[in-house]
Structure 1
Amino acid sequence: MDLGLTGRTVLVTGASSGVGLATARMLLAEGANVAACARDVTKLEAALDGPPGNLHLGACDVLDDRAVQRFVERSAEVFGGLDGVVNNAGRSLMARWDDTGEQQWREELDLKIFSVLHVLRAARPWLRESDAASVVNVNAILARQPEGRLAATSAARAALLNLTKTLSGDLAEEGVRVNSVCLGLIDTGQWRDRYERSGSALDFAAWSAELAADRGIPLGRLGTAEEVAFPVLTLLSPRASYLTGTAIDVGGGVARSL
């Protein structure tokens, strides 16, 4: 199926690895123009390539509103506008609530909320001009299913899910759709790092299968970044023009909420 993304311009944050990288690659394969950023532009340039006329890369810390403004403006200048935004930059803090310092709580909330607000505020004038504007916030199933071992991250994810719903209503009259993709356990660099640090005698497939069983994932495995990228592209597609304010869970069935 043609998703109607050929010639569309999409900005992707946190694009040097994992879901952001997979999303950027899939967008390029669909014929979209991609403006991709990450804090480490050297890593980004090494990971992502594409047709010179369809790809714009830049260094950008999403918590620096001036840097975000510069990158968004330059991206819109390069491609003549913006049709979509994928807010993907983020991380998880593995700590229970009483092992989480006050500054760490603030950092988690800042990253989950302001990484989205900075980009959206900067991109909004161009999104208004698009006939198929779409914003996808990459979130986590933790937003509706808290995990005690990720207390601050769970709370911040819930705040982002709530904010996304608000934005979807406020921006609808401007023709901008806003949706969420909520992840479960996805095989990205973070889980590979944890596997290496674990010192396990198992190979990664067996180790991750045990992890999936421990976390109650019915499909019995971790997901892949590409399995997340596809629903992201689906929500970006003009064919999804009647979808806004929704959240798609990508977690192998781990979600327990209705």
Structure 2
Amino acid sequence: MDLGLTGRTVVVTGASSGVGLATTKMLLAEGANVAACARDADRLKAALDGLPVHIGACDVLDEAAVHEFVARAAEVFGGIDGVVNNAGRSLMARLSETADRQWRDELELKIFSVLNVIRAAQPWLRASDAASVVNINAILARQPEARLAATSAARAALLNLTKTLAGELAADGIRVNSVCLGLIDTGQWRRRYEQSGSASDFAAWSAELAADRGIPLGRLGTADEVAFPIASLLSPRASYITGSAVDVGGGIARYL
């Protein structure tokens, strides 16, 4: 199916690895123009080497840097039609293990990494005939995990914010949706495996993890399996979908 993304321009944050990198590659394969950013310029360049993509080092919490990157992308491609807010991380810590500064950092990252980019892109999104924003979130937003106390709360705040943005920006023709992830095989889980000291290989370790977390499909997801719903929500074919949340978690969600 042609998603209708040929020639359209999408900004992707956190594009140097995992879901951001997979999404960037899928959008390029669909004929889209991509402006990709990440904090580590060298890592970003290495990940996207040889691909026809506009790249820039950018900390999404630096409002001035975000505006500069987005404005440059709009200048290069003649506008912006979509945004994928993917930059972020998880804090593996229980309530009793989380310092006040960590609570503030988690909330700031989850909220302002999204607001800064949307505010910067908004003038060009308004001018697009198929503007779409996809905020990458987690099933934790509705199903808290005790081992990720602050991250769960911050994710819930982002889910609420995304719904508000969908309502506020609808009059400007800008759709805003969430893609909520379960356990996805990205760099974070690889690092946790390496730090675990497990004698098992990653496949066995991740299968045990999936069983422990009660994932019905019995495995972690892949970045490509996340990239497809993201690209679909960016497509003009999804023009009547806004304020929605799509779960990509192998059935781990237990809420109705």
Whole-angstrom CA distance in 1 between matches of 2:193 and 2:96? 25
State the partner residue of 2:136.
Answer: 138
State the partner residue of 1:46.
Answer: 46
Whole-angstrom CA distance in 2 between matches of 1:154 and 1:230? 24
User: Gaps spanning 5+ residues in structure 2: where?
Assistant: none
Whole-angstrom CA distance in 2 between matches of 1:51 and 1:43? 14
Task: Report the alpha carbon displacement of residue 197 of structure 1 after superposing the two structures with TM.
Answer: 1.3
State the partner residue of 1:16.
Answer: 16
TM-score (normalizing by structure 1): 0.98
- Please tell me the residue identity of whatever aligns with 1:144: R
Whole-angstrom CA distance in 2 between matches of 1:56 and 1:237? 20
- Please tell me the residue identity of whatever aligns with 1:92: S
Whole-angstrom CA distance in 1 between matches of 2:172 and 2:50? 32
Q: Percent identity?
A: 81
Task: Report the alpha carbon displacement of residue 51 of structure 1 after superposing the two structures with TM.
Answer: 4.9
Contact in 2 for aligned 1:82/1:126 (Cα 8 Å) = yes
Task: Report the alpha carbon displacement of residue 48 of structure 1 after superposing the two structures with TM.
Answer: 1.1
State the partner residue of 2:125.
Answer: 127
**Structure 1 stretches of 4+ moved >2 Å:** 49-52
State the partner residue of 2:251.
Answer: 253
Report whether the alignment pairs 1:218 with 2:207. Answer: no
1:98-109 aligned at under 5 Å gives the runs 98-109=96-107
Task: Report the alpha carbon displacement of residue 50 of structure 1 after superposing the two structures with TM.
Answer: 4.9
Whole-angstrom CA distance in 1 between matches of 2:212 and 2:130? 41
Moved more, 189-198 or 83-92: 189-198
State the number of aligned residues: 256
Whole-angstrom CA distance in 1 between matches of 2:35 and 2:208? 37
Whole-angstrom CA distance in 2 between matches of 1:110 and 1:72? 20
Task: Report the alpha carbon displacement of residue 223 of structure 1 after superposing the two structures with TM.
Answer: 0.2
- Please tell me the residue identity of whatever aligns with 1:85: V
Whole-angstrom CA distance in 2 between matches of 1:4 and 1:161? 27
State the partner residue of 1:33.
Answer: 33
- Please tell me the residue identity of whatever aligns with 2:73: S
Whole-angstrom CA distance in 2 between matches of 1:73 and 1:126? 9
Q: Residues 11-56 of structure 1: CA distance to partner in whole angstroms, max 9, x if unpaired?
A: 000000000000001001111000000000110010014554xx10
Whole-angstrom CA distance in 2 between matches of 1:184 and 1:38? 22
SS at match of 2:253: coil
Contact in 2 for aligned 1:135/1:179 (Cα 8 Å) = yes
TM-score (normalizing by structure 2): 0.99
The one of 187, 191, 199 equivalent to 2:197 is: 199
The one of 40, 59, 83 equivalent to 2:57 is: 59
The one of 159, 162, 168 equivalent to 1:161 is: 159
User: Alignment RMSD, CA only?
Assistant: 0.7
State the partner residue of 2:239.
Answer: 241
- Please tell me the residue identity of whatever aligns with 1:132: A
- Please tell me the residue identity of whatever aligns with 2:80: L
Contact in 2 for aligned 1:28/1:50 (Cα 8 Å) = no
Whole-angstrom CA distance in 1 between matches of 2:180 and 2:213? 16
Contact in 2 for aligned 1:217/1:253 (Cα 8 Å) = yes
- Please tell me the residue identity of whatever aligns with 1:79: F
State the partner residue of 1:90.
Answer: 88
Distance change (3 Å), C-alpha of 1:50 and 1:11: farther
SS at match of 1:180: strand
Report whether the alignment pairs 1:229 with 2:227. Answer: yes
Whole-angstrom CA distance in 2 between matches of 1:198 and 1:93? 16
Distance change (3 Å), C-alpha of 1:16 and 1:51: closer
Whole-angstrom CA distance in 1 between matches of 2:114 and 2:174? 15
Moved more, 41-50 or 155-164: 41-50
SS at match of 2:179: strand
SS at match of 1:109: helix
SS at match of 2:89: coil
Q: Residues 48-87 of structure 1: CA distance to partner in whole angstroms, max 9, x if unpaired?
A: 14554xx100000000000000000000000000000000
Task: Report the alpha carbon displacement of residue 200 of structure 1 after superposing the two structures with TM.
Answer: 1.2
